[in-house]
Structure 1
């Protein structure tokens, strides 16, 4: 009998895992919180290539050995029984069905979300993450503002700017916090290896042409250090920053805007992996040659194993799906995965997070927006010998205990306070008390 593989996440990694698990003869159930597959990367893509990609996804999901469960939230994992607990239905609606699955193998492709470093005024309406700005532009054809500044670190800023231009926004500038020397060093190291990624060079050229056509300046070595306004953001202050992201005094400049989108890369969403007992390395899920985690039968692919973009995620997903189905991944799949990972490492080298960004903060700067915990409160609590450890820090400041459960502020709080712990949460996704108390379908009354 064929193995039953459950894949959590239908982005590039999850879809690649599905394709190769089906090729290996497995029965596959694909779970995703969204109503359509593709994740953020394939959210309403533009052009004929995207249309073909959507058709390909639909054929995969309609395969007779595939069950596609959109609107599914996995909220817990029972390690003893290897049982997934999930809810099916709209997350903001009532009457969600409570179900369980016990797969033969599990592929975690839960992805990542934006990382945004705090700065004075970042909690103002009109300040968006780069991912949110792109999601609105691509998915809803909505611009976050008429006059927008795009800032942060990493090449993701470029497609975000392009998406905003497509929906009619004026992009004031694109600011890359890393100086040109840092970016050039990362990308120019061992240039012969870039030959395997000519497609990425074409993408970069297209973005550059789009910015030039719209006369949008691209300025490396500059960052947003403050947003100002009362009811919403009205202006932002930018400054030149050094390689470590410390501010160069006297280089501050003010821009009038009605929106700003800021992104400093991405952070993984490993909550379900932690619940399954998987070991993390530097916040990412540790995997072996076949993408298996430290837990037998649990595989991981995509951004939760290392931030590398859609191509790397798909390459890892292909290996994970094949292995989860009980087949040996072909050498070509392994080579493609390794090449993609090398590109991801180059990406991290070219666009690092400078260690001196905390110099942007003030005593009253909010770090945890859910609980309105300030930088001053956090640093005082971290230095209090009577309350050692991350658990005491959370209880003392409430940082990370709000509705987002640390998904937004967690990495920042950990970095500011010198901690790296990721605790197992029995409930890994928000769930209503009534849903928690409800009977699971199939269980006796």
Structure 2
């Protein structure tokens, strides 16, 4: 028994594994998630009142997940805090190093009277995941244009179909499970469009093919998704994507086009397709608000900025560990391995324990897979050629491409921060979570400043620290917090 209190933020594959091993090491665990049930996006479940009779049909690895979930939630030293948001991390006194104080709001999101509570853990594990990155294109702000992750969440978590005639487009293997979820929920998927050319995808996946043996389970998933698309006669096309959405009040049709290797549009290849929904994703952006608030250093990797961790999943802040997609987008198995390592070591477990060797091996294989994934499905440098002057870049503030161009051309507004104030791009409710990487990249291209983007080969912009990481009502902010003593 270590008698350490470990707080785990996020109950997806990484967070749940961290909670399990921290409990096994003898710690007391508080597991926090904004959802009402564990699982994250990967194992998103229906509400309890509408539980699936056979959930194993809807989820890969369901039985192992269900066993882990039951063990963790039933453990006497585990406190499960659902519907809970971490809205701030308060760094300790520099002379007293350790994990930050955790400020949380308990209660359903957007509800009034949420309980404000603070936690002072002995160790903190951040496993907060990532969200879709979507590049702007004309019409992407129309109702009926969804991020692929949002469409999948509605299909898996609510059994709600986003449309009857749907196109899934973007880049990356995530397109396949999204299409599968939509088909199983009752949508008709017209086609799945991978923006990268067959050559780019093949070169990325075929390099050092012997390394793929460690990802045999993913091969099985790929076969299942491919068989499902074949049964429903859904074409999968490479080198093509959605470059425009049109409609009166909502999306009614999309324009797809063939792309060159750099993602410039091949003129004359445009096709118009009648739809009532489009689901688009161009990879993932890690949710870095909490790691940055904690003071964790970031590293530039292929595909963007991620939290820097050592071989023990420890960040540069004493007592703070990170696992899952905030350290690199490598899939659920790697996230579970990282989470298990982080939880065990955060709880003070033996660093030389024999059980850690296969976890480290799985983690390292996951990192190699993440690099392969980024090479096979990069974002092409010529995508801004899709944009028109009136194309909305920041949907929260309706900032368009023309306003970014004007700001970049004027010497007094050319810097990224001043351009942001001038155009208001990134100042809306999402606080640049969606448009931030795009706005930074476009501003760098237009102004000729040093590139700050998530395009392959270029560094991504370092997110600035926000004292308030999640929205909070002024009434809740003014209320005195309730200290928690586990």
Q: d(CA) in 2 for partners of 1:84 and 1:127?
A: 36
**Alignment pair present for 1:323 and 2:341:** no
Equivalent of 2:88, from 76, 80, 86? 76
Equivalent of 2:370, from 344, 349, 354? 344
Equivalent of 2:470, from 425, 429, 440? 429
Displacement of 1:51 after TM fit? 5.1
Q: d(CA) in 2 for partners of 1:201 and 1:297?
A: 37
Q: Are the counterparts in 2 of residues 312 and 344 from structure 1 also a CA contact under 8 Å?
A: no
Q: d(CA) in 1 for partners of 2:359 and 2:38?
A: 23
Displacement of 1:442 after TM fit? 4.2
Q: d(CA) in 1 for partners of 2:114 and 2:125?
A: 24
Displacement of 1:406 after TM fit? 0.8
Give the corresponding residue for 1:15.
16
Equivalent of 2:69, from 18, 37, 57? 57
Displacement of 1:389 after TM fit? 3.0
Q: d(CA) in 2 for partners of 1:191 and 1:435?
A: 54
Q: d(CA) in 1 for partners of 2:407 and 2:189?
A: 40
The TM-score normalised by the length of structure 1 is 0.97
Q: d(CA) in 1 for partners of 2:317 and 2:415?
A: 27
Q: d(CA) in 2 for partners of 1:46 and 1:256?
A: 34
Partner SS, residue 412 of structure 2? coil
Q: d(CA) in 2 for partners of 1:53 and 1:7?
A: 17
Q: d(CA) in 2 for partners of 1:426 and 1:382?
A: 28
Q: d(CA) in 2 for partners of 1:219 and 1:388?
A: 39
Q: d(CA) in 2 for partners of 1:66 and 1:365?
A: 49
TM alignment of 1:304-315, pairs within 5 A: 304-315=326-337
**Alignment pair present for 1:120 and 2:142:** no
Equivalent of 2:385, from 338, 359, 374? 359
Equivalent of 2:359, from 314, 321, 333? 333
Q: d(CA) in 2 for partners of 1:247 and 1:46?
A: 41
Q: Are the counterparts in 1 of residues 20 and 68 from structure 2 also a CA contact under 8 Å?
A: no
Q: d(CA) in 2 for partners of 1:231 and 1:308?
A: 38
Give the corresponding residue for 2:97.
none
Displacement of 1:136 after TM fit? 1.0
Q: Deviations over 1:243-269 (max 9, x none)?
A: 111111110000011111001111000
Q: d(CA) in 2 for partners of 1:33 and 1:300?
A: 18
Equivalent of 1:368, from 394, 399, 407? 394
Equivalent of 1:288, from 292, 299, 310? 310
TM alignment of 1:144-155, pairs within 5 A: 144-155=162-173
TM alignment of 1:30-429, pairs within 5 A: 30-44=31-45, 46-47=56-57, 49-50=61-62, 53-80=65-92, 82-282=100-300, 283-327=305-349, 328=351, 330-418=356-444, 419=452, 420-429=461-470
Partner SS, residue 333 of structure 2? helix
Displacement of 1:58 after TM fit? 2.2
Displacement of 1:149 after TM fit? 0.5
Partner SS, residue 413 of structure 2? coil
Q: d(CA) in 1 for partners of 2:207 and 2:64?
A: 35
Alignment CA distance shift 1:335-1:325 (3 Å): same
Q: Deviations over 1:208-265 (max 9, x none)?
A: 1111111110000001000000111010000000111111111000001111100111
Displacement of 1:365 after TM fit? 0.2
Displacement of 1:331 after TM fit? 2.0
Q: Deviations over 1:195-220 (max 9, x none)?
A: 11111111111111111111110000
Displacement of 1:139 after TM fit? 1.2
Give structure 1 stretches of 5+ with no counterpart. none
Partner SS, residue 117 of structure 1? coil
Q: d(CA) in 1 for partners of 2:243 and 2:482?
A: 51
Q: d(CA) in 2 for partners of 1:318 and 1:368?
A: 38
Partner SS, residue 359 of structure 1? helix
Partner SS, residue 40 of structure 1? coil
Q: d(CA) in 1 for partners of 2:386 and 2:221?
A: 33
Q: d(CA) in 2 for partners of 1:56 and 1:211?
A: 31
The TM-score normalised by the length of structure 2 is 0.89
Q: d(CA) in 1 for partners of 2:313 and 2:248?
A: 49
Q: d(CA) in 2 for partners of 1:199 and 1:325?
A: 30
Give structure 2 stretches of 5+ with no counterpart. 46-54, 94-99, 445-451, 453-460
Partner SS, residue 233 of structure 2? coil
- Tell me the matched-pair count: 443
Q: d(CA) in 2 for partners of 1:104 and 1:398?
A: 40
